[in-house]
């Protein structure tokens, strides 16, 4: 009989609960996803889990949001939203930040540095995607600058989300590990 991995189940539960917190009304770009990605990179023992699990959580919560919350008037089921690949690419790169900063040691400074790096990477990459894929801005340097300028108010939402979710995820799990030693794991650079 296979032993139940309580640490893995706890991490999975935390990540899916945070991902589904997206259904609570919130300011634009106030999202747990960057924090979830860093959290997963810091705490899952296998890198593929740290990449795949946040992707699945994001995708499932997006399915619910797009097809239940915003389903009014839609005729067909939406499996992925337009431009999703830019967001998912940014999360993959954010996981790499998490691997490099927090794989061996999680500290408040490393979490803060990872959060700030994640916010900037997400802002630069996803808004570049808006410019490249869209028709809102001309395909010129001025168009790219205009795209980034128009996105600045959304950057504040990203920072606010990280300000809430990083302490909740990292701090909450740290407190759980102190209370329940079986949630602790040795650091593995897998």
Taking the chain (190 residues) in consecutive chunks of 10 residues, what is each chunk's mean pLDDT?
80 96 91 97 94 95 87 77 90 96 92 97 96 92 97 96 97 96 68
Domain range enclosing 133: 6-183
63 domain-assigned: yes
pLDDT of residue 83: 83
189 domain-assigned: no
141 domain-assigned: yes
pLDDT of residue 3: 62
Quote the pTM value.
0.91
104 domain-assigned: yes
190 domain-assigned: no
| Total count of domains within the chain | 1
42 domain-assigned: yes
188 domain-assigned: no
pLDDT of residue 71: 77
pLDDT of residue 165: 98
pLDDT of residue 80: 80
Kindly report the CA angle at 166 between 180 and 60, in degrees rounded to 5?
A: 90
pLDDT of residue 124: 98
1 domain-assigned: no
pLDDT of residue 30: 95
pLDDT of residue 69: 81
Query: Contacts from 107-111 at CB under 8 Å and sequence distance 24+?
Result: 111/38, 111/42, 111/166, 111/170
pLDDT of residue 186: 59
């Amino acid at each position: 009989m296979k032993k139940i991995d309580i640490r893995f189940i706890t991490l999975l539960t935390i990540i899916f609960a945070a991902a589904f917190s997206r259904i609570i009304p919130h300011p634009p770009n106030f999202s747990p996803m960057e924090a979830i990605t860093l959290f997963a990179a810091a705490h899952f023992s296998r890198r593929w889990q740290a990449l795949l699990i946040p992707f699945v959580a994001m995708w499932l919560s997006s399915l619910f949001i797009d097809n239940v919350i915003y389903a009014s008037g839609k005729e067909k089921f939406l499996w992925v939203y337009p431009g999703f690949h830019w967001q998912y690419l940014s999360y993959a790169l954010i996981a790499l930040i998490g691997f490099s900063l927090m794989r061996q040691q999680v500290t408040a400074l490393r979490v803060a540095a990872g959060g700030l790096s994640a916010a900037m990477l997400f802002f630069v990459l996803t808004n570049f995607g808006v410019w490249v894929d869209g028709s809102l801005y001309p395909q010129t340097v001025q168009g790219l600058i205009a795209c980034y300028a128009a996105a600045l108010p959304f950057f504040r939402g990203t920072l606010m989300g990280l300000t809430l979710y990083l302490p909740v995820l990292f701090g909450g799990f740290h407190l759980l590990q102190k209370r329940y030693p079986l949630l602790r794991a040795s650091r593995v650079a897998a």
